[in-house]
Amino acid sequence: MTSRPRLDVDALLDDPQTKIVVCCGSGGVGKTTTAAALALRAAERGRRVVVLTIDPAKRLAQSLGIEALDNTPRTVRGLRQDPGRGSGSLAATMLDMKSTFDEVVVSQATPDKARQILGNPFYIALSTSFAGTQEYMAMEKLGQLHTQATAEGTYDLIVVDTPPSRSALDFLDAPERLSAFLDGRFIRLLMAPARGPARLLGSGISMVTHAMSTILGSHVLEDMQTFVAALDTVFGGFRQRAARTYSLLQAPGTAFVVVATPERDALDEASYFLNRLGEEQMPLAGVIVNRMTELEGGEVVTVEQALDAAAALGSAGSQADRSARVCAGLLKVYADRVATATTQLQYREDFRTAHDGVPMASVPALISDVHDLDGLRMVGELLAKGSPKSGRKTPAKDPTKPKR
């Protein structure tokens, strides 16, 4: 018999050895809401939590009751503390890659050197739009938060909401990609004039730099060389820090949670995440399947029975039989819902079979968007009891409650 392990969300969040929870998944699966709900639940169960989002949709601030998120953690008010679990806290921050890059410069360079770098046009371009900068800075920001938490005891749990799509795991490549960039032949060529007197340079390098100066202009080449020198002297430390953060993600105190919806494409993406995490030897906590269609009281009649009854009722032609036609329409809606629930359940079970032994939790679809702490609180409660079971046992739902 195939094992059906349950993702015990409360056990994960309550464990003091859990220091980092990383939520990853494709776009549109409720990953940001899930991260916020996990963070809120952990805080209300006594943990000191900070949630970091690098999702550009910026939905997190509204749900947490914060006017805006930025690079500085902001305290979330309105927590419901459990007296028996101690006093928890919750802060939220959103990655600002330019601000984080600037912080690296200021922390690693002298004031004069920092001013020179921050005003360099190539630095400005890199820190705002260069491909991969967001992933580099996500590693940096996570490392900063962890260092602060360790040194000052400000937080004992960091929840990370990653970007939508497969790029959510690009930050795993950040150290290697940054090293390749800094060690590239073109970068070494530009660095050559700064690393030694001109008389020590080979004639080939001199010819190339002279040609570049002719094409680009001496001022542009000087700016490039100044910037590359800054990379070598200032950001070399980031390469080591990024590598340490990568190791931190592999450590036992980290737990990856893959978020999906019960749709074929989303579950295919979830499979990609699971395989990639396995290849990178990242610690996996489990999978959360959001927005499962469930039926109140279970499946009363089959799709075929509902459609047959709808066809019989819908054939009434007189005005007196209008109620019968209304019932026929409702039966068709019910049949569609049963068909959707059946399909989703099959997709989920196929996924579980393909990833036998991976802990899983499921959350039913809600009827309105999550937009406040109460909504996040309810999602957290559903996550805590959302173990997939055989059959269709549906948790009671309040129709006035919000939906994601």
C-alpha 402 chain-centroid distance: 22
Mean pLDDT value across residues 314-338: 66
Distances in whole angstroms, Cα of residue 58 to Cα of each of 5, 141, 145: 33, 17, 20
- H-only helix segments in 80-217: 97-108, 111-118, 121-129, 133-152, 174-182, 185-195, 203-216
User: Distance between CA atoms of 371 and 375, rounded to whole angstroms?
Assistant: 6
Mean pLDDT value across residues 307-320: 58
Residue pair 295/394 in contact (Cβ under 8 Å)? The answer is yes
Residue pair 141/51 in contact (Cβ under 8 Å)? The answer is no
The DSSP output letter for 64 is T
* HSE (side-chain half, CA atoms, 13 Å) at 294: 25
More confident site: 177 or 72: 72
User: Distance between CA atoms of 286 and 358, rounded to whole angstroms?
Assistant: 6
Residue-level pLDDT at 361: 94
Mean pLDDT value across residues 286-313: 71
Region of poorest pLDDT, from 97-106, 236-245, 283-292, 315-324: 315-324
Distances in whole angstroms, Cα of residue 68 to Cα of each of 33, 61, 65, 76, 137: 16, 6, 9, 11, 20
Residue-level pLDDT at 278: 93
Long-range contacts of 353-358 (CB under 8 A, 24+ apart): 353/2, 354/271, 355/271, 355/274, 355/287, 356/2, 356/3, 357/3, 357/5, 358/5, 358/274, 358/284, 358/286, 358/287
Give pLDDT tens digits for 382-400. Answer: 999 875 543 333 333 443 3
Give pLDDT tens digits for 51-106. Answer: 998 766 666 777 888 878 888 899 999 999 877 887 899 999 988 878 888 888 88
Highest mean pLDDT among 23-27, 64-68, 97-101, 216-220: 23-27
Mean pLDDT value across residues 191-220: 45
Question: Which tokens go with 94?
Answer: 């959103």
Residue-level pLDDT at 359: 96
Domains, the chain: 9-113+125-173+237-294+347-384 (3.40.50.300), 180-231 (no CATH), 303-341 (no CATH)
Highest mean pLDDT among 71-80, 319-328, 365-374: 71-80
* HSE (side-chain half, CA atoms, 13 Å) at 100: 26
Residue-level pLDDT at 270: 94
Q: Which of 298, 306, 304, 328 is nearest to 316 (CA)?
A: 328
Average pLDDT, the chain: 77
Evaluate if residue 285 carries a pLDDT over 90: yes
Residue-level pLDDT at 254: 97
pLDDT band at 16 (very low <50, low <70, confident <90, very high): very high
Strand stretches in 266-312, DSSP E? 284-292
Residue-level pLDDT at 268: 93
Residue-level pLDDT at 7: 95
Region of poorest pLDDT, from 5-19, 31-45, 49-63, 205-219: 205-219
Highest mean pLDDT among 49-63, 200-214, 226-240: 49-63
- % of the chain beyond a pLDDT of 70: 66
Name the β-bridge partners of 260. 289
Distances in whole angstroms, Cα of residue 320 to Cα of each of 233, 315, 324, 325: 86, 12, 9, 10
Region of poorest pLDDT, from 5-19, 327-341, 367-381: 327-341
User: Distance between CA atoms of 398 and 383, rounded to whole angstroms?
Assistant: 16
More confident site: 216 or 29: 29
Evaluate if residue 343 carries a pLDDT over 70: yes
Residue-level pLDDT at 390: 37
pLDDT band at 195 (very low <50, low <70, confident <90, very high): very low
Residue-level pLDDT at 324: 66
